[in-house]
Amino acid sequence: MTEQQRSPLAQTSFSPTQVRAVVNRFLLSQIGSVFAAGTPALDSTAQLWRVPILYNPPDFTGDEVGQAQVSATTGEIQQHTPVAELRTHAAKLHERNKTQIHTAFLRARKK
């Protein structure tokens, strides 16, 4: 099959694991360690991986606070929820669940 004959899906050369790693590297370097990439979903029409960004403090299963979009052909982040918005959503989630988060944090420190 030549390059022109490939379907858009065939041009996707990145696995969900690789895409998740790209987003996690970005989050860790730009925002902090309490955010993590969720499970990527491929939008083959748009040639993008849509990756939920989760608020994820230690030993606590957080919730989605934003999204990143990663090119299915280059593996580069094309767009993401603004950092200020991620932090605002995370603060609201933290406030709503602060007792459970604090308990999980204390449990993690004892390990």
Q: Is 65 exposed, middle or buried (0-12, 13-18, 19+ CB in 10 A)?
A: buried
In the numeric block, which tokens belong to residue 84?
Answer: 């200020």
Q: What is the mean pLDDT of residues 18-45?
A: 95
Report the C-alpha gap between 49 and 42 in whole angstroms.
Answer: 4
CB 33 within 8 A of CB 90: no
Strand spans (E) along 1-111: 35-37, 41-43, 48-55, 64-71, 77-80
pLDDT tens digit sequence for 37-84:
999 999 989 999 999 999 988 777 779 999 999 999 999 999 999 999
Domain count, the chain: 1
Q: How confident is the model at residue 101 (pLDDT cuts 50, 70, 90)?
A: low
Which of 30-34, 76-80, 107-111 reaches the highest mean pLDDT?
Answer: 76-80
Report the C-alpha gap between 31 and 77 in whole angstroms.
Answer: 15
With a pLDDT cut of 70, the percent of the chain lying above it is: 84
Q: Residue 98: give the domain boundaries.
A: 3-110
pTM for the complete prediction? 0.78
Q: What is the pLDDT of residue 48?
A: 95
